[in-house]
Structure 1
Amino acid sequence: MSNELINRFSLLSKIYMAGILVLGSIFFMMNMPLNKYLYSLDDWVWVYTLSIAAFLLCYFDMRLSPNGNAFSMESSVYLATIFYFGLSHGMMVLFLTYFANFLYNRAVSRRAHIFNFCMYSIMIFSTYKVFILFGGLKGAGNFGSLFPYIVSLFVYFSLNLLITLVFFIVSSHPEFKGILNRGLLKEVFFAYFVTLLLSLVLIILIDSEGFFGLFLFTVLVVLLSITFGKVLEWYQEMSNQANKDYLTGLYNHGYFKDYLKELFQETKKAGDQLSLAFLDLDDFKKYNDYHGHVQGDRLLKFVGEYLKNETKERGFTVARYGGEEFAIILPKTTKHEAAAFMDGVRKKLNDTPFDGVERLPYRCISFSCGIAEYESDMYEESELLHKADQALYYSKAQGKNNVQLYDAKRISRDALKFKEDLDAIEEQLKLLLYKDVYTYRHSKRVFTYAMEFSDRLPLTEEEKRTLVLGALVHDIGKIEVSRDIINKTSKLDPDEWEIMKKHVIWGKEIILSDGRFEEVIPLVELHHERYDGKGYPYGLKDEQIPKLARILCIIDSFDAMTTDRPYQRTKTFSEAIVELRRCSGTQFDPQYVEPFIQMIEEYYPEKIIRTDETVST
């Protein structure tokens, strides 16, 4: 047990530790070789050689994972000793091993050494008693039944885990929950399973080869420890090369995207804060053109090192996103805290001299920065990326060398840019025209409804743009569905329906491959989710579904009901309105159903057949 744990004393933890010390000392003294039980010379030689082996295995621990988790193998020596020689020998080997550790390993406090010694005394005593209780016999050649060995090892493992967990509880250690991590428990269980196997191997070697068998065992385990360490070092080095940018040494684009995705999901579950900053070096192309690429690379390396140094104490993650663009992930940080921090970084960088920057417009190293914050209604990290990119775009438009927060009320693209985006998506959509004219026309109508409905909703300009573009391209994934299924005139069978449902995933992949419209991904992927959680592909419910996807679900369903379909009877507008109201609160978000119906009744009165059922209440 580490110094940090031992030093976290409260009154309860002191009482608990005193209990462990007293119990461990009693078990040890009960089994010491006093005058009545003097060892023979051969016994003492074995005790000393086993203690030396255990001490070496304490020093050469075994690393099993790149995250730093390791375990020492001296327990295999303790177990082999009690199984082969008996409890008294095991206690003496434990004592000599910890006495040597006490003298040699000054990094661990005396209290930690004593506590660990007493803990192992309890474990060894209990393990031996259980071993004998279940029919175990000392010595080799007694492996007719492995049951006593398995049960006794389980006791050894359980006591170690129990004593450690109770200490965490009584000392109120903040990392208590981390100890119960399933992955860590699996590693610990595997380590003790290996310990049992090695203890049995050692018994066989001692019985057949004597001291040479013990020597051979110790050398092999030490070599294995060194080999595992080297392999993991090599693995870590290769992993770093795969995740690091070759020029700046920062994390690269691929690692950044993967880490942000993981952190985004953790933040969503925990309800924490998360901010993302995009920054772009101002006028880098001018600097590169004037001073050459070699000097330009020096500037990028300098800025990368500067950003790493400024952020490392706060635990932020910096990556080179591409070219002269960098990204910083700021966990547990609000957008206003992130803006204050990044503005301080910007000002400090402005005052940092570097060769040749006097020729730049600001006569210093400067960057434009955009910041976005995680919001509870975000579905995936692409929305956060898009908003940070939009804020960066706005920062550049404000004259560069400044930090801007994403603000949907301020940040919107002009009509010309919106038209360019529509034209680009329209080109993709035309692929459907040649394969499925029904879906193409459906997409165009849903686009029109979305344009009309978005003007009646309290949406920002950016949300309106996203809804309209998403409506136009929401069924793009049907390009991947076979003509036989798309054009089938009868009802789809279960297998065909499963294929049809995959169009939302295929649509997401198509949008991702384009790379220009990632903000519409939630609409493409989730427009068939239901408010009651019975939709697909993930069965999301209520506000787990992004707001715009909930709106699009209503629009898409209304047009699907009122349009000729090969496998579905067409409803009139009046019948569709009745169906919308019937499914309000189950399939559809009720807060948007009535506003949509009111819009349809106002814009398309000629298609409404007035009945008692269709009049709004």
Structure 2
Amino acid sequence: MAWWKHFFNFSMYCLMISSANYVLTNLSIQVGMIEHKDFFGYLLSLTVYGLVNILLMYVFFAFLSKRDLFFALYNMFSEGVFNEALISYSVTLLLSFVLGLIIKNDLFFGLFIFTILVICLSLVFKKFLYLYQEMSNQANKDYLTGLYNHGYFKDYLKELFQETKKAGDQLSLAFLDLDDFKKYNDYHGHVQGDRLLKFVGEYLKNEMKERGFTVARYGGEEFAIILPKTTKHEAAAFMDGVRKKLNDTPFDGVERLPYRCISFSCGIAEYESDMYEESELLHKADQALYYSKAQGKNNVQLYDAKRISRDALKFKEDLDAIEEQLKLLLYKDVYTYRHSKRVFTYAMEFSDRLPLTEEEKRTLVLGALVHDIGKIEVSRDIINKTSKLDPDEWEIMEKHVIWGKEIILSDGRFEEVIPLVELHHERYDGKGYPYGLKDEQIPKLARILCIIDSFDAMTTDRPYQRTKTFSEAIVELRRCSGTQFDPQYVEPFIQMIEEYYLEKVIRTDETVST
């Protein structure tokens, strides 16, 4: 441990003991004597002792985390510091009673017995801590390579992503895949294949250690590396150096591979301020890896939406897969099913008018189709209710965005649409749900979907509200521009409606006039 931590601990205990002594003195309790009648005085003294300890540890957490004090307090609660402290203080109180009673009867023999007792307890606790650490390592480490496993990686990335988002730091993520590993495995056997994985895992661990980067085995022959405080260009230069060095590292049997050496394809993505969840970063790194392999393997590629074009066949397969999920709504709620299909059509048309990348267009369209999938979990009585929903029913209805996110997560193929499913009811002014996000805290595509979704909701039959004409809905969009809706997308959407659906706008204008 660093010397200053020892000094901090020593100072902390001095303050704790002094505070406890101060309480006893002010309660006129004789220090060093054990009297049953003074039990509550001892308990109060221990409480002060504990509170001073917690206060100092609170400051310590705040200093280490370099966050605000509220976050430090939350961190202490979430990590169970208070629960552990309560047990420790209870043991301290009992041991102090034992020590006092023994010393009262025989000073030197009592001190000797108590010292032996404390040493034995220390050894037992040390063994427990060692076993706990071993179990923790087994839960977090990959058995073959010794690297962190997929589960730990996802949890750590999620935590680091939120820290980066709050602090506005840089964060890059690299996915790498061993080239032609299946060929190596098939030719040399699984035992030798495992040796290669273990060798590469050890190599990556050593290379990342000096830079403080975290490497994990993501699955099979795929590895993931988290590079905090690193731009994508810095990450690409570093990973390319790692790749070249690995190319020059000999290993049995690699001469039979196409590149005649150990090689990997690598894709890198960087955190962007408009990202909502780490799943977006994962998806982009995965896309970059796919592009790297398509470029002939043994290279490092950055995520670039302009270069990573949409594959029409793959897009059709994705649409078909989501359509299958959506059909579940058809049997439960035909209104939501048809609404989703219309929102999907609007999104297809609107995406071509916006300065979006091909990947963003794909995500918007898929998200539009599946955005209300969580309503599968809402009861038929609420969905099909013809009168206005009461507050409890609205609360249940609002949960559909969370349930939708869980459904998409369970599928695992379309994580990039999660922000659209979860956040399409957030408002630009921060008065939406489920989190009350505002302005650019809401991802761009979710802000766009909010406009499309609201327009269709206003202009189609709903069981609990009057249907607006196209013209009335356009007026409403303009009225809520800057409050409910992002103003930069409202007018372009209205222009699209007026151009593509001119007939409906004119017809509804005539209806209003009549």
The alignment's TM-score, normalised by the length of structure 2, stands at 0.89
Which structure 2 residues correspond to residues 116-155 of structure 1 after superposition, within 5 A? 128=21, 131-146=24-39, 149=42
Instruction: Tell me the residue number matched to 2:444.
Output: 547
Cα pair distance change 1:462/1:124, threshold 3 Å? closer
Q: Is the 8 A contact 2:34 2:97 kept in 1?
A: no
Cα pair distance change 1:519/1:200, threshold 3 Å? same
Which structure 2 residues correspond to residues 90-489 of structure 1 after superposition, within 5 A? 128=21, 131-146=24-39, 149=42, 175=64, 177=66, 181-182=72-73, 183=76, 186=82, 194-208=91-105, 210-489=107-386
Cα pair distance change 1:136/1:178, threshold 3 Å? farther
Measured in 1, the distance between the counterparts of 2:317 and 2:13 equals 72
Cα pair distance change 1:302/1:484, threshold 3 Å? same
Measured in 2, the distance between the counterparts of 1:445 and 1:594 equals 20
Tell which deviates more after alignment, 330-339 or 185-194: 185-194
Cα pair distance change 1:379/1:292, threshold 3 Å? same
Q: Is the 8 A contact 2:24 2:31 kept in 1?
A: no
Measured in 1, the distance between the counterparts of 2:441 and 2:318 equals 28
Q: Is the 8 A contact 1:273 1:373 kept in 2?
A: yes
The match for 1:570 among 467, 470, 474 is 467
- Deviations 1:437-488, CA, capped at 9 Å, x for gaps: 1111111100010011111111111101100010011111112222222112
Measured in 1, the distance between the counterparts of 2:49 and 2:369 equals 64
Tell which deviates more after alignment, 191-200 or 468-477: 191-200
Cα pair distance change 1:459/1:179, threshold 3 Å? closer
Instruction: Tell me the residue number matched to 1:3.
Output: 3
One-letter amino acid matched to 1:431: L
RMSD (CA atoms):
3.1
Runs of 5+ unmatched residues, structure 1: 8-68, 72-115
Runs of 5+ unmatched residues, structure 2: none
Measured in 2, the distance between the counterparts of 1:502 and 1:120 equals 48
Per-residue deviation at 1:364? 0.6
One-letter amino acid matched to 1:277: A
Q: Is the 8 A contact 1:135 1:148 kept in 2?
A: no
Q: Is the 8 A contact 1:256 1:319 kept in 2?
A: yes
Per-residue deviation at 1:132? 2.8
Measured in 2, the distance between the counterparts of 1:174 and 1:156 equals 21
SS in structure 1 at match of 2:238: helix
Q: Is the 8 A contact 2:34 2:100 kept in 1?
A: no
One-letter amino acid matched to 2:38: S
Per-residue deviation at 1:524? 0.7
Q: Is the 8 A contact 1:311 1:317 kept in 2?
A: yes
Per-residue deviation at 1:300? 0.7
Instruction: Tell me the residue number matched to 1:592.
Output: 489
Per-residue deviation at 1:413? 2.4
Per-residue deviation at 1:533? 1.5
Cα pair distance change 1:582/1:275, threshold 3 Å? same
Cα pair distance change 1:351/1:176, threshold 3 Å? closer
Cα pair distance change 1:430/1:175, threshold 3 Å? closer
Cα pair distance change 1:126/1:526, threshold 3 Å? closer
Cα pair distance change 1:390/1:206, threshold 3 Å? same
Measured in 2, the distance between the counterparts of 1:503 and 1:159 equals 45
One-letter amino acid matched to 2:307: R
Measured in 2, the distance between the counterparts of 1:129 and 1:589 equals 60
Cα pair distance change 1:161/1:261, threshold 3 Å? closer
Per-residue deviation at 1:127? 5.8
Per-residue deviation at 1:286? 1.0
Per-residue deviation at 1:5? 6.8
SS in structure 1 at match of 2:267: strand
Q: Is the 8 A contact 1:377 1:546 kept in 2?
A: yes
SS in structure 2 at match of 1:537: coil
Q: Is the 8 A contact 2:372 2:404 kept in 1?
A: yes
Measured in 2, the distance between the counterparts of 1:404 and 1:482 equals 47
Tell which deviates more after alignment, 191-200 or 497-506: 191-200
Measured in 1, the distance between the counterparts of 2:457 and 2:106 equals 81
- Deviations 1:312-349, CA, capped at 9 Å, x for gaps: 11111111111111100111111111101100000000
Per-residue deviation at 1:406? 0.5
The alignment's TM-score, normalised by the length of structure 1, stands at 0.75
- Deviations 1:176-224, CA, capped at 9 Å, x for gaps: 9589744298567875665454323311232246544433333332222
SS in structure 2 at match of 1:505: helix
Measured in 1, the distance between the counterparts of 2:57 and 2:140 equals 36
Aligned residues: 501
Max Rg structure: 1
Tell which deviates more after alignment, 423-432 or 129-138: 129-138
- Deviations 1:126-176, CA, capped at 9 Å, x for gaps: 76565334312245343423565466667767888999999x9xxxx9859
Q: Is the 8 A contact 2:284 2:303 kept in 1?
A: yes
Per-residue deviation at 1:6? 9.3
Measured in 2, the distance between the counterparts of 1:120 and 1:523 equals 52
Identity of aligned residues (%): 83
- Deviations 1:237-274, CA, capped at 9 Å, x for gaps: 11111111111111111111111111111111111111
Measured in 2, the distance between the counterparts of 1:495 and 1:401 equals 57
